[in-house]
């Protein structure tokens, strides 16, 4: 299989994954794609880190031991039912979620479950399906319990999963606040914790963006800093007591996120 280098480099990891799957589908028309490949086909958000190695997942009616680092990973599916998504035959979305929950961690998989819920996919009955399929349901039970369709993107889902794994109480997502500048567009906080005594903590996730200070960007950076300060002032005027900001790097070093949340007064679950 070949692609022009400049075109290949322009693709995101899920897009590259789908390009390979489509080509394999032309060669192997009987294949049904599963797991992460099906997740890509359904357009479900997930971490690009899962694409460190380009491994395509296919459903297999027979149990096969996969070789380590093999480019094709076979997932045992007793009753293979084919659906179409993004130009390739795939397992149904529920089976794809279950298979990924069996292969990946809670933090890697919560963005998938949030994204599916956001798209209107019902998660009811997934733990029971696991038991019927003799698949360990522990991760699926937790994922169904914590999945939230209000999560706006995979980064926020990953942040919330890390917060949950660190033992903190679960935040409310996208709480609206009045926007004096535009009443028809309320301010929405990424995460909020409403505690006894009128304490209201807001968590803001800054994603992977960074400020770049140079002559061409200084004015835009200053404008963003001013907008963030104005936003914080408006939130505090409406009862927010503390605002804690964290970045993607804090998620890759959970001890840093834990320190920030504890300093802000976010309690842990008992």
**Would residue 269 count as lying in a domain?**
no
Looking at the structure, tell me whether residues 100 and 207 fall in a common domain: no
Q: What is the pLDDT of residues 63-102, one digit of tens each?
A: 888 887 789 999 999 999 999 999 999 999 999 999 999 9
Q: Which residues form the domain of 112?
A: 5-148
Looking at the structure, tell me whether residues 18 and 114 fall in a common domain: yes
pTM: 0.89
Alpha helices in the chain (DSSP H): 5-10, 13-27, 35-41, 93-103, 106-118, 126-132, 138-146, 154-165, 218-237, 248-252, 254-264
**Would residue 72 count as lying in a domain?**
yes
Q: What is the chain's mean pLDDT, rounded? A: 91
Lowest mean per-residue pLDDT among 26-40, 78-92, 124-138, 227-241: 227-241
Q: What is the pLDDT of residues 174-220, one digit of tens each?
A: 999 998 888 888 999 999 999 999 999 999 998 654 434 444 555 56
Looking at the structure, tell me whether residues 199 and 77 fall in a common domain: no
Looking at the structure, tell me whether residues 139 and 172 fall in a common domain: no
Looking at the structure, tell me whether residues 112 and 204 fall in a common domain: no
Looking at the structure, tell me whether residues 49 and 30 fall in a common domain: yes
Q: What is the CATH number of the domain that holds 228?
A: 3.40.960
Domains held by the chain: number: 2
Strand partners, 172: 192
> Which of 21, 91, 59, 266 is CA-nearest to residue 167?
266
């Amino acid at each position: 299989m070949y692609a022009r280098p400049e075109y290949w480099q322009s693709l995101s990891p899920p897009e590259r994954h789908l390009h390979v799957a489509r080509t394999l589908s032309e060669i192997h028309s009987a294949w049904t794609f599963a797991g992460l490949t099906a997740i890509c086909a359904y357009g479900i958000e997930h971490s690009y880190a899962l694409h460190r190695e380009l491994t395509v997942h296919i459903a297999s009616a027979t149990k096969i031991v996969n070789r380590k680092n093999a480019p094709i990973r076979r997932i045992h599916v007793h009753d293979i039912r084919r659906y179409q998504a993004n130009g390739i035959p795939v397992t149904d979305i529920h089976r794809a979620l279950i298979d990924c929950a069996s292969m990946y961690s809670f933090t890697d998989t919560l963005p998938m479950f949030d994204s599916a819920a956001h798209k209107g996919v019902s998660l009811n009955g997934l733990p029971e399906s696991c038991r019927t399929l003799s698949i360990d349901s522990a991760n699926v039970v937790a994922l169904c319990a914590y999945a939230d369709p209000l999560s706006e993107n995979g980064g926020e889902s990953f942040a919330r999963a890390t917060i949950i794994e660190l033992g903190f109480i679960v935040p409310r997502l996208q709480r609206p606040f009045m926007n004096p500048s535009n009443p028809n567009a309320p301010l929405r906080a990424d995460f909020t914790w409403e505690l006894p005594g009128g304490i209201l903590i807001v968590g803001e996730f800054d994603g992977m963006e960074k400020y770049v200070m140079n002559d061409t960007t200084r004015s835009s950076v200053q404008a963003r800093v001013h907008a963030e300060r104005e936003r914080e002032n408006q939130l505090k005027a409406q009862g927010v007591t503390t605002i804690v900001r964290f970045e993607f790097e804090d998620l890759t070093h959970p001890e840093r996120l834990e320190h920030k949340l504890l300093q802000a007064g976010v309690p842990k679950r008992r």
